[in-house]
Homo-oligomer: A and B are copies of this chain.
Amino acid sequence: LRLALKERGLRMTPQRQLILDVVVTMHGHISVDQVHQQVTRQFPDVHITTVYRTLEVLEELGIVRHTHIHDGVAQYQRTDEALHQHMVCTVCQANTELEVEILKPLAEELRLRYGFKADLAHTAIVGVCRDCQSIRAAGALGHTAGQNG
């Protein structure tokens, strides 16, 4: 891993080591700010700009990849973790992992019909989780679009 840096004339600094530590232990999506917070827990001096720049480097190296979920905040994930996908509930923000197997038929279909190589793990699937559906159902029984006020 550090060799990858070396090959491109890049240096391994303590800051990068710390950020790398966070990256290899993280699961799923994580924001720049979250990475920064974890890093500053050990070295409060590490600037968030450095986190931005390091994650950018890691992205060029193919170690991480970033995306944007529901709000405008960039979320990073490891590329070797890209094979699992998340479902984010728009009501309770619950984040459930799902097996990527489920996505394969769709990916295959898109390839066949449009020649499009879909990166389905790139963005989380949004929707409403089981629990929040129950809660909602209790408040708004029926399935016609009536005006509630």
A contacts, CB < 8 Å to B: 7-8, 62, 67-74, 87, 89-90, 96, 98, 102-103, 105-106, 109-110, 113-120, 122-130, 133, 145, 147, 149
Contact = CB atoms under 8 A, between A and B. Distances in A.
A49 B116 CA distance: 37
A133 B118 CA distance: 11
B106 A87 contact: no
A112 to B, nearest CB: 10
Nearest to A101: B109
Given A7-B147, A68-B71, A133 B115 contact: yes
A70 B68 contact: yes
Contacts of A128: 116-117, 119
A102 B118 CA distance: 13
